[in-house]
Amino acid sequence: SDLFCAPFARMARDDAALDVGLRIREYEARDDAGCKRLEDVASQFQAFRGLVKSAITHYSTFDAKAAQFPQRLLLVCTDDELPGAVVGVIAVAIKRAWLHGAMRKVAYVFDLRVDESHQRRGIGLHLSREAERRIALAPYDVEYAYLSVNADNARAKALYSKLGWGACSSRALSFEILSAPASLGARPDARAALGAVERVADVADAARLTAEAYACRDLSLPPDELARGLFGSAQFLGTFRAADGAGSYAALSLWHGSAFTGFRPIRLGLPWAWWARAWPLAAAASAAGAIP
């Protein structure tokens, strides 16, 4: 995915009005099902030219993720012709973070969704504009905002470029199989030199280790906010530390990443080349299992 960010002072503005009957307001508890429906049909990951696609599914309320931040703002768009329906939503989480050499108020924008039947009517644009307008004012007083866009989502990239956002970086997902540590770990003698892996008992110490490791890097959090937020969360599973006795150490912190959301397949297929390779192996395994 690509990371986009923007200082509010440079954001372009568009005074065009929403279509008649469309309205933007703050999210309410009654919007939960409607917002989840929008998320259910929004493809968040696809591969093999669309043969494999997945969407985000919520295990809790739609606003549960945003509620983990010190401040947040969720806006929905409704249509007078569809009473009770949500046709668009945007979420913003606000925090203090280190950025461009100073501690600043920054906003993380996510979950911008528009119903397929209402796309190309400027709803995404107006939700984004209204979110920007509100978080620039008290009590939010945000200076910078950032968001992540799927690398292949040309429509979203075009929208945020129009809004005045600029691309900051690119990243790619990387997966490791934790059930096979022997193939991933260091040599046995190197692991022995690290000594025992110990759990860091004090949450403040765990937050301090992370703050020291990411000190003054863009979007790093201050220790007090780490302790209250990430490390104070019910989803925090623990921090583990190993030292080599010579002053060097490694630390790892874990969170329950599937507490609020997960991926749900909406299309699952494999290229024919995969089937061509997999079928003989499956047939051989089946035959081997039948041999007495």
Q: Model confidence over 77-87: pLDDT tens digits?
A: 999 999 989 99
**190 confidence band (pLDDT: 50, 70, 90):** low
**291 confidence band (pLDDT: 50, 70, 90):** very low
Peptide bond into 139 cis (omega under 30): yes
Using CA atoms, how far apart are residues 51 and 269, in angstroms rounded to an integer?
5
Closest CA to 8 of 128, 142, 131, 109: 142
For the chain, the domains span 2-174+258-267, 181-255
- DSSP annotation string for 74-105: EEEEEETTSTT-EEEEEEEEEEEEEETTEEEE
Can you identify the CATH homologous superfamily of domain 2-174+258-267?
Answer: Gcn5-related N-acetyltransferase (GNAT) (3.40.630.30)
**Residues 238-266: pLDDT tens digits?**
999 998 877 788 899 999 988 888 877 76
